[in-house]
Amino acid sequence: MENVITVENLSKNFGSVQAVKNISFSVRRGEIFGIIGPNGAGKTTTLEMLEGISKPTQGTIDVLGLVPSQQLRELNKRIGVQFQATSIQRKMKVKEAMDLFASFYSNTTKKEYLIDLLNLDEKMNVRFEDLSGGWKQRVTLALATLHSPEIVFLDEPSMGLDPHARREMWSMIRMLRDEGCTIVVTTHYMEEAEKLCDRVAMIYSGELKALNTPEELLDNPSGQYIAFESGQVDQRFLEALPEVVRVEKEDKVFKVFSENQQKTAYHIFTYCHDHGIVLSDFRFEKGSLDDLFVHYLEKEEAAG
């Protein structure tokens, strides 16, 4: 599949602080590509370099065959960027915002289609300040895609939305993808990355920690765990095992994250046999992207 974005050895410094550290990845045409990580991980800085807003300290970026920081005018005709809701004048009506943004482009044949797709008809005469968070996000998504861009960049598109509005936003993003648009989205919601993205780049402290489909990432043993129920197992014993990364306990249910699950299971069974403890519901489980991310986070903290 054709790559529409190629990033090689990308770094960005702000004075003595290195916000992005030598990352490389590519984005394929027609996919939803997620850049995930906590606040301050380097997600937005990376996105701004892809959009041409910020120039890399080192490394190369190719977006649709263009160098963003050098060919921004040409690039802006072919990409869409979702503005933060606060960038729209509060008193402006939705129709006025749509008309204003449409005036920036020569090709806005998609305007009526987007109004219908995002169900904006009933909101066209509503002032922006009177819209809910979910409706504001719909409007800014429409403004970003009025000119039929090949790539749309979305920075935390569901931040501040309730669960229902968040899922509606996911559905709209998928519809844009199904229309042939490539979507690059940043998020610190691991569930969002898991449910929405075709592939995910996991960033922490400016470094690329993992890159794959959510399904492949969830097959990574680092995010998997041993679960069982017991009111007698000493949590300190589990935490002292050398291969154990962390232990979570809720009521009598343990979740044990380990670098070597088979070895850990052997130690647990031996301990229980020696102490006459019976375990219930012992099982190996796949974790979530959140579990995998916490694993990388704790490894980073332990190293340093």
Give the domain ranges of the chain: 3-218, 225-285
Model confidence at 83, pLDDT cuts 50, 70, 90, reads confident
What is the Cα–Cα distance from 67 to 229, expressed in whole angstroms? Answer: 55
**Residues 288-302: pLDDT tens digits?**
888 887 777 777 666
Q: Show the tokens assigned to 48.
A: 């701004």
Cβ-proximal residues to 125 (8 Å cutoff; 6+ apart), any chain: 93, 94, 95
Rounded to a whole number of angstroms, the distance between the first and last alpha carbons of the chain is 39
Residue 3's beta-bridge partner residues? 28
* pLDDT of the residue at 81: 94
The secondary structure of 79-111 as a DSSP string is EEEPPPGGGS-TT-BHHHHHHHHHTT-S--TTH
What is the Cα–Cα distance from 176 to 184, expressed in whole angstroms? Answer: 12
Q: Show the tokens assigned to 67.
A: 């160098």
Residue 259 dihedral angles phi and psi, to the nearest 5°: -75, -15
Model-wide pTM > 0.75? yes
Which CATH number describes the domain made up of 3-218? 3.40.50.300
What is the Cα–Cα distance from 33 to 42, expressed in whole angstroms? Answer: 16
Cβ-proximal residues to 148 (8 Å cutoff; 6+ apart), any chain: 107, 109, 110
Residue 1 has pLDDT above 80, yes or no: no
For 206, the 3-state DSSP assignment is: coil
